[in-house]
Amino acid sequence: MKRTAAVLQGIHWFVGIGAIAGGIAALVNPLNPMGVGAEALEHAPFDTFLIPGLFLLIVLGAGNCLGALTGIRYPQWRGYLAAAFGAVLVLWIVIQCIMLRSVVLLHVLYLLIGVFQSAMGLKLMRRN
pLDDT of residue 1: 63
Higher-confidence residue of 40 and 1: namely 40
**DSSP conformation letters of 53-116:** HHHIIIIIIIHHHHHHHHHHH-GGGHHHHHHHHHHHHHHHHHHHHHHHT---HHHHHHHHHHHH
Does the pTM exceed 0.85? yes
Average pLDDT of 85-100? 96
Domain locations along the chain: 2-127
pLDDT of residue 62: 98
AA identity, residue 71 = G
The conformation of residue 9, written as its DSSP 8-state character, comes to H
Average pLDDT of 3-22? 95
Cα 37 from chain centroid (whole Å): 21
